Structure 1
């Protein structure tokens, strides 16, 4: 949730120790035992301090944020000392300053711990935490640069989706949900306060961006749908209540009451809160004049460098990233030209379009996910080695009222202590059936987000009961992995078509589609650097896009404005992907004949979300020979008993 920060509390002072008389005669055995215990406690002091600090960081990451708490933990009782009222984290300038100071304190405490005295797992986590907190502290110094209401990814559009998928495991969950609805006015009002302070600092959004936010607030709550009882926050609420009734946790007459209460809150509390937010943004509209990259703002370069590190996990400089992207762009372009020429020679056609691809044989998303799981078996480790029950996955369509400002697809991560129920949303207005849907579900499901999230978390749970890593954000690893396997899925799609009687040229066409997508995303990454680090203007971007064949001004404006309002977003995907390719090259050199895709993928999944500098160091410590069971091998072993 925007504005949420973590901090630690100092140990309680002045603890009263109750003294008891001890025997005057202490045996030698007792002395040895005491000495051994003293040595053990001394030796493990750093371990205990690290465990305590980790627990504090994790607990504070969920402080006063019931929505994040619910999505992180199915059962908070082992991790949190006492339940707190269900609420959302309201912003205030005072709390932001306090959070920054406490963040600095966290880092100081962490640096006092000697990592050499920790076990290998904790030592790796210590390294991750150190670099993570250092970067977060750098970001905290850039006041008012964060934008919680971005047109494409702001909380005004994310919050309803998170509410719609808020799981009702118990009646208490449902009651907490209604309390969260009650807290939405205070939460949105605090965001309006933040935006006003942002405007006073000369950093408010453009008038056009503000207009988009106002339109979204008006559309999201859709008064006509609310009055008809057809809003998705009404229909999904009733579906979840039905589950509680079926489980015997709720009586039918109670269900009617709670449906009425939900309707009341949506119409008299949540909807007016969205209207009030829209009014606040409208009144501030016009106070922001900056319409360019971050580098044009006083602390813009510092904030961009923070975002690069945070969102990509890469430690490369902007200059190094630009060089890497440029080299990759040239390679992609040359490969694409060669493939296009080969395709034309084979088919005798001058025009190339994805409409020439034969129809895919799958009727729905579940059939695609089943096919992807079958095809990934040889090269990816099996989930069956970590769990007795494989996770379920439901695919849903984004509500029509949300389609215009929701991404093509999204995966909602399950709680770290209950990985069974997974949900993928598909935006039907921006995701075409066939190849695009196939690769999208590979990105979001198998072997993408769902598989990576479940495998990495189950493996982490098997190694430690310390949940602190779930509080850290590594977008470059997570999205880089999903983009990496999406590229692999183009090969799977080619096999699907060929195995269902498609001509050989269809394989070339899927390769062309893959290269075109990479080339386009690479270009957008270069534009991101150009706009936010080098100061490219809108006209500069027009010229770059025109050279790429994008001459329609409305399209060019949409691309420019998206990159302007979502700095480093494309880099999160593509630079993360390139960093994984670089790690793969290093693994190939390091392991030699012992390298296999299965082993490399297992290394990444077991390491879990990390920054790429830490992953490179971890890879260098990996022995040359290691045996890992694939999906297929694990299932055969389990079948043999």
Structure 2
């Protein structure tokens, strides 16, 4: 009945110096900064504080800045040197930084703020408290993970780095020169992990090595060359001789800076192979279970215990299985699934989805989107699909990447595009950004909300596809069950210490008897702890909230107004999302 498919869709997030919000505290806590606020109202003081926080954080690395803002000068940011930042491995300094910002935030009384600012206060307060906990486990983080590692994300981010003017080109080229020093900081971080007994297992190191070597092997055909030339060509006001000069410099930097940086990383990882002390889940590390508990809270935005999340997941799997058993599987269902929409282009699918959601989802501004494809040489190392987040002051440019090596056509592609596009990531991002929230919220990562919403959108898309309702229900619930099994496996591997054998046995209980596929899932989960939970638990939280509101409102319940209430809150911890939605719909 079930087919084990490795689904790892994602938004491409910015590569920050580390996964924590670490701020330049001296800038925020100086006497001049605070004295300038005394004469302002509470709301003006608060927005001045968050604006300064935002300016400092996005300026910390050039990629963050460029992907967040098209026009930094409009936000008071100018003359920032090209930098990637660096990876911090000092938990004491990181904790002091976060606590200092938290202390500054708590100078404000949320009861004196407007509803919008009070909401931002609550979200930022929760985020910083969780970040403070995370500093205790700084070296447990993995910057070279299989799903969103620096070595795989960086080339994509560079290839999509927009050129609006000559200054952007010059900044980009200056950034390429910084790649070796940035990779050196990654190497130092991995060396520190190794000396602390926290280095990755050999099979994960081999995956990193393969990815890096494949990237180097592209040579002059690398997409960092071809995409650069395409972007340069679009600058109409740039003289041809200048374009040619820039193209030659880019080629030189790719071969003399980027490739050597990747080669140095290969050499370093090879030297560290064999120093990984654990080939299983986080619970086999000292304090690994505590780290996993933190990671699940941070990743999902939920405060529930692992035991509670496991119960929620099992209950939903049973509900889905029960519903599936009541539906007679049509004899031609497999054929229908394979052939439906088979000849439809991704652009047409996105247009179809956009037109069909108008009755149940609120409107968003018209924006353009572009579908691109992952280079064949990188298909084995990147997600089946991903959405590139646009700058908050330039929502018109939206890019969805499809990995033809991992994403099928037909219905599978249709639901994937619902996840990445309408009414998933693209739709949610544009809706929230169009509401002009406090800019600080654009750089806070709440994966449970973001991926949970996109997974919820994906599940709904089965009922938008040209399928009989019974078949749509069957296929949707089958997808939900598979994601639920991944979530249970994630908790079993990292919290309960499951071995590969334990994991094979678990999946076999549900009729999945492909040991090789299960071993691939096991390795992926080892390298990306809690990643599946943000998809599935996030989806469950939205699904449960929807049921609660439908029960409470009865005939007055409107899907469109429910979606509007959820989207109006924006990315946030689910405790806050629930409070805000209940307040908006029930009061």
CA distance in 2, matches of 1:456, 1:359: 32
Q: What residue number does 2:385 align with?
A: 409
1:367 aligns with 2:334: no
Q: Which residue of 2 aligns with 1:328?
A: 316
CA contact (8 A) 1:2 1:155 kept: no
Q: CA deviation at 1:239?
A: 0.6
Which of residues 52, 74, 80 is equivalent to 2:48?
52
Pairwise CA distance, 1:548: 2.2
In structure 2, how many angstroms separate the alpha carbons of the residues matched to 1:333 and 1:201? Answer: 44
The correspondence for 1:111, drawn from 106, 110, 135, is: 106
Deviates further, 259-268 or 61-70: 61-70
> 1:393-415 CA deviation, whole Å, 9 max, x = no partner?
00001011110011100000000
Find the aligned partners of 1:97 and 1:182 in 2 and give their Cα distance. Answer: 30
Structure 2 Cα separation of the partners of residues 597 and 329 of structure 1: 24
Deviation at 1:362, TM superposition (A): 4.7
Q: Does 1:132 align with 2:127?
A: yes
Question: C-alpha distance in 1, partners of 2:94/2:296?
Answer: 22
Matched, 1:621 2:583: yes
Q: Indicate whether 1:78 and 2:94 are aligned.
A: no
Q: Computing the radius of gyration over CA atoms, which structure comes out larger, 1 or 2?
A: 1
- Aligned 8 A contact 1:292 1:535 in 2: yes
Which stretch of the first structure deviates more once superposed, 166-175 or 78-87? 78-87
Distance 1:105 1:363 in 2: 54
Q: Does 1:201 align with 2:196?
A: yes
Q: Which residue of structure 1 lines up, in the alignment, with residue 11 of structure 2? A: none
C-alpha offsets along residues 273-317 of structure 1, whole Å, 9 cap, x if unaligned?
A: 100001100000000020111122112122112211111111111
Distance (whole Å) between structure 1 residues aligned to residue 335 and residue 156 of structure 2:
32
**Would you say the 8 A contact 2:69–2:391 is kept in 1?**
yes
Offset of residue 10 of structure 1:
4.3
Is residue 2:6 matched to residue 1:6?
A: no
Partner of 1:184: 179
CA distance in structure 2 between the aligned counterparts of 1:603 and 1:479, rounded to whole angstroms = 17
Aligned residues: 567
Deviation at 1:48, TM superposition (A): 3.8
TM-score, L = length of structure 2: 0.93
Which residue does 2:550 correspond to in 1?
A: 588
After superposing the two structures, state which structure 1 stretch, 542-551 or 600-609, moved more: 542-551
Match of 2:265 in 1: 277
Residue 290 in structure 1 maps to residue 252 in structure 2: no
- Give secondary structure in 2 for the equivalent of 1:411: strand
In the other structure, the counterpart of 2:223 is 232
Alignment of 1:491-506 (within 5 A): 491-493=463-465, 496-497=466-467, 504=468
* Separation of aligned partners in 2, 1:92 and 1:476: 25
CA RMSD of aligned residues (A): 2.0
Residues of 2 paired with 1:11 and 1:353: CA distance? Answer: 62
2:289 to 295, 301, 308: 301
Does 2:504 correspond to 1:542? yes
Give distance in 2, aligned partners of 1:122 and 1:526.
Answer: 37
Unaligned runs of 5+ in 1: 18-39, 385-389, 498-503, 626-641
Residues 284, 361 of structure 1: alpha-carbon distance in 2 compared, 3 angstrom cutoff: closer
Does residue 476 of structure 1 match 2:462?
A: no
* C-alpha distance in 1 between matches for 2:32 and 2:490: 54
- Please list every run of 5 or more consecutive structure 2 residues that lacks an aligned counterpart in the other structure: 1-14
Q: Secondary structure at the match of 1:396?
A: strand
Q: Which residue of 2 aligns with 1:444?
A: 420
Q: Is the 8 A contact 1:142 1:302 kept in 2?
A: no
Q: Aligned to 1:343, what secondary structure does the other structure show?
A: coil
When residues 41 and 193 of structure 1 are mapped into structure 2, their CA distance, relative to the original with a 3 A threshold, is: closer
Using the alignment, how far apart are the partners of 2:52 and 2:433 within structure 1? 20
Q: CA deviation at 1:445?
A: 0.6
